[in-house]
Every structure is written in structure tokens, then in C-alpha cells.
Amino acid sequence: MRRYFRIATLALTVATLFSWGVTASAETAYPRSPISLICPFGAGGAGDVAARVLASAVKKDFSQPIMVVNKPGAAGVVGTMTAKMSKPDGYTLLAGRVANNAIIPALNKTIKYKWDDFICIGLLDLNPLVFVVHKDAPYKTLKELADDIKANPGKISFSTAGALNIQEVAAYMLLYSVGMDKNDAVSVPFPSDAAGKNAILGKHVVFGALNLSAVQDQLQEGGNLRALAVTTPERLKNFPDVPTAREAGFPKLENILGWNALFGLKGMPQAALDKWVAALQHAKIDPEWISHTENMGSIPRILTPEETRAFVKEQVEKFEALGASMELFIR
């Protein structure tokens, strides 16, 4: 009988060790099949381009292809929910942006996900917003513009690329910063950054907080737009004369900008998470990824998971404070 128990114990031990070995082998073998990188926006947009630039940059780190899968709809909610409902095995990731991973979770209380339902793998880049007016406008500073809005409530218009996108949020933050209501300036939505820019050029609206990539051609010598401030913490390399929002006297506008980040699903294997964190650190110093990112009008800014979580949390808290002050919540 004792001999039987010794044999049974030995067999169980061998089976357990074998199981551990198989599990470890499976984890270290990641990835064993293609990886889906869900982009919750349409092909050709800023989020799509950033996702494809990333997939190309990190392909040397993975033995399997990384497939960008576009799932647009409802300002990114459709694709974000698709990612959330996927199996957390490391083979589905989310290429998130400020809209779907911060603004909407902060302001739209009807959606079925929260900002922290995902693992923050790494911030990728910042997309600066620039407050611009026509070169013929009387405003030389952002304060002059804010003072005029305050003196003429409800009469000065601004362009956005849709309701509660980052451009509209930035304009509302300007109003919030000086104690004004959301109705003290008139939001005029356009289908794209380019259309919003053209509205300012045509003097159909007075100002806009637009993506640098959309307006930089008109900020060069001979252009027809004037930049009043940029929302990045530092001045722009290509436009060093444009003050930051903080320098212009509006610190609440700092880091009210676009961004791209990589998110994983809660419960994904640690081996997969570690692999992606390492891949992002390789991309961070990859001249080709840096060049492509800068050519999009973005600032490369890869952060660690911990830094990214702190950054996104701060963004959400800013938007929630704005929503509470200006009654922007959707319930």
C-alpha cells in the first residue's frame, strides 16, 4: 500500500511539474498567433495612422503579425466595447485615443465601460492643440480673445470637429478658466479639422483649438492663421514663438490635447504585457517610429504603464471637473 501511495505521489508530482512547464512554455512562446490591434476609428484617421505606425515599428519584436482592425462608430465607443468584450488572452489590444478612453468615460455616464476597465500599457504620443484665429483678427494673445468673449457673451463662435471632442472640450476649458458658461461662446461643429480650419480662414467662425497637424501649413510664413497658444507643457519645436497655455495665463489648458495610447484587457497574461512594454521601449528610441510620429504632427511621448495610468487618470479627472462645472454630463 505504501508503495502504491509513493508511486501515486510521484506521478502527481511529475504531472504537476509537466503542467507548470507547459504553462511557462506557452507564456514564453507569446505570441503563437496573429495579434489584433483594434482601432475604434475609421481608416485614414489620426488614430488609424498611429496604430499602423506602431504595428510597423514593433513587428521586429514579435514572431506573429499585428493586424490593425478598424471598428469605428459612436466616437470610438463601438470599437472600445468590442475590445472590452474580447478574450483577455493578449491577442486583442486597443489603440485608444483621448476621446474614447478619457473624454467619453468622463462625461458620458450611459456607456458600458469606464476608463480603468483597461490596462494602460503605454502612452504613445501627444497631438498638440493650437488656439488659432485669422491673421486679420484683432487678438494677439489668448487673454485678449478670452476678454472679448467675456465682454460679448454668446456672440463669438469657434469651430470643432464634433460634440464633446477634444477641440470643443478645449474651448470649454478656456471658458471655464475665466468663469464663463459653455453658452458664452458658440460651438460650430464641422466634419473634420480641415473643414474647421477653412471656416476660420473664411472668417465664418472666430477661433478654434485645432490639431497642429491641421493648421501648421497656415502658421508658416505667409500663412493666414495666427497662433495664440499651444496646449502642450513645452513650446513647439517648429513654432518656438507660440507661447504655451500656461505661459499665456491659462494653466488649466495644459495637456488638454489629443493623444494615442496602447491598452490591454484586464486579465491578460503577464508575459504578453511584459512583451508589449518592452516593445514600446524599443519603439521609443526607433528613429523610424519617431520620424513617422513627428510627420503626423505629433510629439513622441512613450510612457511606462504606471506613468500612462497616472496621465489618463489626471485627464479623466480634468474632464469630470469640467463636466460638473459646465453641465456637460450625458446621463
Answer whether residue 174 shows pLDDT above 50: yes
What does the pLDDT read at residue 124? 98
The superfamily CATH assigns to domain 37-127+257-326 is Bordetella uptake gene, domain 1 (3.40.190.150)
What does the pLDDT read at residue 309? 98
What does the pLDDT read at residue 192? 87
Q: DSSP for 226-253?
A: EEEEE-SSS--SS-TTSPBTTTTT-GGG
What does the pLDDT read at residue 212? 94
pLDDT digits (tens, 9 = 90+) for 253-299: 999 999 999 999 999 999 999 999 999 999 999 999 999 999 988 99
Answer whether residue 181 shows pLDDT above 50: yes
What does the pLDDT read at residue 28? 59
pLDDT digits (tens, 9 = 90+) for 8-38: 444 444 444 444 444 444 445 899 999 999 9
Q: Do the two domains 37-127+257-326 and 129-253 of this chain adopt the same fold?
A: yes
pLDDT digits (tens, 9 = 90+) for 63-95: 999 999 999 999 999 999 999 999 999 999 999
CATH of 129-253, one of 3.40.190.10, 2.10.10.90, 3.50.50.60, 3.60.20.10: 3.40.190.10
User: What is the separation of C-alpha 180 from the centre of its chain, rounded to a whole number of angstroms?
Assistant: 27
Answer whether residue 148 shows pLDDT above 80: yes
User: Which of 16-20, 183-187, 195-199, 202-206 shows the lowest mean pLDDT across its residues?
Assistant: 16-20
Going by C-beta distance under 8 Å and a sequence separation of 6 or more, which residues neighbour residue 244? 229, 230, 231, 232, 233, 234, 235, 254
pLDDT digits (tens, 9 = 90+) for 239-260: 999 999 999 999 999 999 999 9
Q: Where are the domains of the chain?
A: 37-127+257-326, 129-253
pLDDT digits (tens, 9 = 90+) for 160-171: 988 889 999 999
Given strand 225-230, what is the order of strands in its sheet?
186-189, 157-160, 207-211, 129-134, 225-230
